Chain A
Amino acid sequence: MAWNAPITFVNGVLPASQLNQMLRDNMNETAPAKAMNVAGYFVSTGTNAIAEREVLNTSYYERFGTTSTSYVAAVPGGIAIQNVAHSGSLIALWTARMYVFSSPSTTNTACVSCEVTGKTSAADSWATRTVGGDNAFIRGMGFHHFTGLGASTTDQVRMMFRTGAGQSNFSNCELIVFPL
């Protein structure tokens, strides 16, 4: 079903078809009719159309490292959320502890970014990064509003990691996604 623009009623016979269209069908397009979960929220998916969304999250607390100077998933399967349903955009927040394990310097950083796999690649422009090479595992946080994705129910949002040089290590990773 879809939303029908509410009509202006006039005095006279009120046919069932009008009530079904105006009351039944339109009520079925509202938020209470579409609510399926606890702790959800509603977004617009287009003109006179809404959908329920949920805040999604995943975490990975183990220590791992990478020597890649371009962004990689770094752990098997990646730290990712699959099957994210959205109407073309989403907000991602991520955090991790990190340090430069080898080749620490004032110009060598451990970097943590985020991608929508196959649609928007991880980038330095929204990556959290630190030069910390003291094994202190400094925590950083990043965020990005991914737009222009096209509506989907199968997108994957994934944390991505790289080092400036040598090896960088990471741990206590968390990823939160607000689909829009």
Chain B
Amino acid sequence: MAWTVPRTWVPEDVLTASVLNQQIRDNLLETEVAKATSAGRLLTTAGPNSVVMTAPGEVTAATAVTTTSTTPVALSGGPSTTVTHNGGVLILYGARTRITAGTGTDTTYVTFGPAISGTNPEAAKVSASVRVAATDAAMNRFTGHVIHYGDPGTDTIALNYWVSGGGITGEFANRQLLVWPL
């Protein structure tokens, strides 16, 4: 079904079943309350006269992982998640991280950020990532966020990780990825 522009009624209009079904039944079925199926979803727009309920969600990976890759890679546990959206996704991401082998300098660092595959693919990139040069054993937490716009569809968002090189190893723990489809 789709929304039909509500008609203007005039005196002596004959109320036919087909008109009532279009104006009342079908349009009611396009409202947000008709589309609500479970608790905790947000009303979002999918285009002119079209609304849907979308669900934010968070995925996590507590285990500490390491990499020496100088290009973005997925690591064990991700986290990653697949969402259907109307053309936009708000992504919040975070992790505890440090340089665990080698020395943090002005030119050596560890990096993590989201990579997207699906309707609107986009590799993890410096402009949407967190970069850290700390070596502290306690592993400070860092967070970042980005809004990714594209075509309506389904995308898989996965945290990727990489290091600058220079003989360092990056370590990441308590990884978080919160995705809010728009």
Contact = CB atoms under 8 A, between A and B. Distances in A.
Contacts of A89: 39-40
Nearest to A93: B92
B160 to A, nearest CB: 19
Contacts of A109: 138, 140
Contacts, number: 145
A133 to B, nearest CB: 10
B40 A44 contact: yes
Contacts of A65: none
Interface stretch (B20-28, B70-78, B105-113, B148-156): B20-28
A30 B31 contact: yes
A108 to B, nearest CB: 7
A128 B143 contact: yes
Nearest to A34: B33
A169 to B, nearest CB: 16
A125 B62 contact: yes
A144 B136 CA distance: 24
Interface residues of A, number: 53
B159 interface: no
Nearest to B174: A125
Interface in B34-87: 34, 36-43, 53, 56-58, 60, 62
B33 A108 contact: no
Given A126-B176, A128-B141, 20 more contacts: A8-B17, A11-B17, A41-B42, A43-B43, A44-B37, A49-B33, A50-B32, A87-B39, A109-B140, A125-B174, A129-B96, A130-B140, A132-B140, A140-B142, A141-B94, A142-B141, A143-B143, A145-B56, A180-B39, A180-B40
Q: Sort A-B residue pairs by CB-CB distance and give the 8 closest, nearest first.
A: A44-B36, A145-B58, A87-B39, A6-B25, A9-B20, A42-B43, A180-B40, A106-B136
Interface of A: 3, 6-11, 14, 22-23, 26, 29-31, 41-50, 86-89, 91, 93, 106-109, 124-132, 140-145, 147, 151, 164, 180
30 contacts: A3-B34, A6-B25, A6-B26, A6-B29, A9-B17, A14-B15, A30-B32, A30-B33, A31-B32, A31-B33, A43-B41, A44-B43, A47-B36, A88-B39, A88-B40, A89-B40, A91-B180, A107-B138, A125-B174, A128-B94, A130-B141, A140-B141, A140-B142, A144-B176, A145-B56, A145-B58, A145-B178, A180-B39, A180-B42, A180-B56
Interface of B: 15-17, 20-21, 24-26, 28-29, 31-34, 36-43, 53, 56-58, 60, 62, 92, 94, 96, 134-138, 140-143, 174, 176, 178, 180
